[in-house]
Chain A
């Protein structure tokens, strides 16, 4: 649990947001994150994020499902309990294709969702600090973490001159904790006077 100081700039238009991201980064600040109400395509590139490899994980989970199904069914039907069905082969691969396919999909989907939740650190009852309530409504909220060298007031001015409709300095917990959202005055968050 570590509280840190952040400078927050809110934008209400993507057209303003993109140049602002560039300006802030050129000025040498490290943007912690931009919180948006919907996926803004290209923002991950603008922030210099790498592509996610979640889909690769999905592929690996999928083939795990395939191999689980093939190995389990073939062991059961040829070794553990071979059933004589009209003298037909015990190793009846075509008849297993439906289940092999279903398990592939099931493993891939469940595995990917679990991985997604793990990577994003999300679970029922997890609470995170929200820099602006309207980040899930209609504002694009840029958050910059302050280092000891950062002059927060300068940064605020920079954000404002780049079109931020609201700027703010907050000291907040950067990680998640267990809690609910019904009590806004939970000990981990305090707003610094403007």
Chain B
């Protein structure tokens, strides 16, 4: 029985009538060409930001956390806000590469490589904040449980902060392995086309000697599928655990059971926005509009409006619970510190509402979803909104909690706090510029595989093969 039915409404995943060789040519050409002037300018800006960030971190390490405007009441400020923000951004990459693979969403193929790269760089940036927040960063290895000469004094396995250490490091490792194993065949493609000895040598090393053997492909497929299966619960667990950092405490505004799903939805929301920002640039600069199509942008905008609305429901639920619980501390946090526009941080709450809940609603319109400029603008708005969200959660809950005597004065960041944040932008974009120049930004082998289903020059032949049930296929083709 065959249930294969191809919708007439579905648009092609790759535009144009391409051959396999053309796919290779289109995607690998930017690697072989000299980078454009724009690339150099962008790279220079990124490295400058990174250097400023490095200097800010140097100040912090030398003089201590006092370089930041944190105080006894607001012990977490911009740093942990930025940490959660970057981790959240990372989530979309895994979602695209793993969850959409399991759901057999063919369109992921155009965007998964760059999205996974974004994940890895975002998690690298995220990791800096808790590490340098430790103050004595040279003792950061204390978070690792190992038999030591201090007792041995173990880490606290019951603490969400330690869960975070495990979650983030596992997430980074697994994402890196998933990404790199997918890159191996594509590095081999670059290597085999390379004209210069240096390129042949470097991509030769990077491709680990990949040949394209049928057996290797079989194992590679199995590996990708299982890694996707592992990454799917992993990505949900990571932001769940990040939300536990807050939810397991007794601070009003943090102590809620809604946090895990709300954080995960927010993470996907901000991550997809960042993917849009990056890919809209990449597809234009490298001329990859046939591979990263308007269809992709449309689909990702649908995810943005969905997750944005989930986040909106979560905000409203929190407000409702702030009133319904009749707990005065909760009520004060939600209805005064946050929702009251003229409270000291009311502006951040309403900024968040406007950016995250109201503005993405324009994506109900198909015309807007398929408009590149609107999408680019919105992708930045959403990420500003999601930064506000973390700021709201952290600062408005902390600055006035139970005892008025411990209420804090107005908190605003020092230049070194901002510099650190700017530095992680530098780190992120430095990595991303290098990635865009030296790595195949689209999964070449996977696109060729998709081409068989989507490309006009290959589809008829492939349909015939695919229409056959496995048993008769084996019977016809296998040797007995």
For A22, give its contact among B174, B192, B201, B479 (CB under 8 Å).
B479
Which A53-105 residues have C-beta < 8 A from chain B?
54-55, 58, 62, 72-73, 76-77, 80-81, 83, 85, 92, 95-96, 98-99, 101-103, 105
Residue of B at shortest CB range from A97?
B163
In the complex, which residue of chain A has the Cβ closest to the Cβ of B186? A136
Which residue of chain B has the shortest Cβ distance to A36 in the bound complex? B212
Does the CB pair A18–B477 fall under 8 Å?
Answer: yes
Q: Number of contacts between A and B (CB, 8 Å)?
A: 235
A96: chain B residues within 8 A (beta carbon): 157-158
- Contact, CB under 8 Å: A133 / B192: yes
Q: Which of B174, B215, B218, B465 contacts A105 (CB 8 A)?
A: B174
Q: Does B258 contact A (CB under 8 A)?
A: no
CB distance from B78 to the nearest CB of A (A): 26
Give, as a whole number of angstroms, the nearest-CB distance from B186 to chain A.
Answer: 9
Partner of A98, one of B153, B163, B184, B206: B163
Binds B, one of A1-9, A108-116, A146-154, A162-170: A108-116
Chain B 213-227, CB-CB to A under 8 Å as 1, else 0, gives 111111111110111
A22: chain B residues within 8 A (beta carbon): 476-479
Which of A35, A42, A102, A182 touches B213 (beta carbons < 8 Å)? A35
| A110 cross-chain contacts in B, Cβ below 8 A | 173, 177
Q: Which chain B residues numbered 202 to 237 have a C-beta less than 8 Å away from chain A?
A: 203-206, 208-223, 225-227, 230, 233-234, 237
Q: Which residue of A lies closest to B462 (CB)?
A: A14
Residues of B within 8 A of A46 (CB): 474, 477-478
| Contact between B177 and A33, CB atoms less than 8 A apart | no
Interface residue tally on B, bucketed by range: 35 or more
- The answer on a CB contact under 8 Å between B218 and A49 is yes
**CB-CB nearest in chain B for A81:** B154
- Complex CA gap A178/B21 in Å reads 29
Given A22-B476, A112-B223, A137-B20: A130 and B192 interface contact (C-beta under 8 Å): yes
Q: Which residue of B lies closest to A179 (CB)?
A: B204
Contacts of B328 in A (CB 8 A): none
Q: Once bound together, how far apart are the Cα atoms of A103 and B162, in whole Å? A: 13
Smallest CB separation, A121 vs chain B (Å): 7
Contact A98 B192 (CB under 8 A): no
20 A-B pairs within 8 Å (CB atoms) are namely: A19-B477, A33-B211, A37-B189, A42-B465, A43-B214, A54-B226, A55-B222, A81-B151, A95-B157, A98-B237, A105-B174, A105-B237, A109-B173, A119-B219, A121-B209, A135-B212, A136-B189, A141-B212, A181-B194, A182-B204
